[in-house]
Amino acid sequence: MVEFLLGAYGLFLLLLMFYLLGMYRSQRQLDDKLELLRESLESREEES
């Protein structure tokens, strides 16, 4: 019976990990977009 308990704990950690990984991926994408925006603004400043 202990395997069901461990399975449930494992499932909880797995779901939490997937959600946190999703958040991490989302944050990385945001950082990349911000960096691109910053670069494009800098190049525009140089041009002007």
Shortest separation between residue 18's beta carbon and another protein, angstroms? 8
Decide whether 1 or 46 has the Cβ nearer to another protein. Answer: 1
DSSP codes, 1-48: -HHHHHHHHHHHHHHHHHHHHHHHHHHHHHHHHHHHHHHHHHHHHHH-
Beta-strand (E) ranges in 1-48?
none
Residues forming the site for another protein (CB under 8 A): 1-2, 4-5, 7-9, 11-12, 15-16, 19, 23, 26-27, 30, 33-34, 37, 40-41
Shortest separation between residue 46's beta carbon and another protein, angstroms? 15
